[in-house]
Amino acid sequence: MGSIQLGIQHAVGGLASKPERDLLMQDFMTVETTNFPSDGSSHTPAHHYSEFRFRTYAPIAFRYFRDLFGIQPDDFLVSNKTVSYSVPFFITQFFTRIKLFLPYL
């Protein structure tokens, strides 16, 4: 589970350097793949887990919805540490809220 948390921290932290902009349809289809070697790289920190690959689906879209719902990046990261036992639970809750919100657009 620690590798998942490390991947989420890297994905959310990496978005801070990207400028905010309007949401585009292509943002929902973006998949970013990052390799995390144990020794680290120029883009990833060193860690004690075995080498892993982390995929981030629609990172700009998810940032937009986190901002829309008032979820700060630090709060988001802390909530993932406390609910790390159930990543599917988090995803289900997130999409449930989006489904409730979309009819208002």
Domains and CATH numbers, the chain: 2-104 (3.30.800.10)
Q: What is the pLDDT of residue 18?
A: 83
pLDDT at 86 over 60: no
Alpha helices, DSSP H only, in 16-103?
59-68, 73-82, 87-101
pLDDT (average), residues 86-94: 57
pLDDT band at 75 (very low <50, low <70, confident <90, very high): confident
Distance (Å, rounded) from C-alpha 77 to C-alpha 88? 16
pLDDT at 90 over 60: no
Highest-scoring range by mean pLDDT, 4-13, 17-26, 94-103: 17-26
Q: What is the pLDDT of residue 104?
A: 62
Distance (Å, rounded) from C-alpha 2 to C-alpha 49? 8
pLDDT band at 20 (very low <50, low <70, confident <90, very high): confident
pLDDT at 82 over 60: no
Q: What are phi and psi of 88, to 5 degrees?
A: -60, -35
Q: What is the pLDDT of residue 9?
A: 84
CB crowding 47-60: b at 16 or more within 10 Å, else e: beeeeeebebebbb
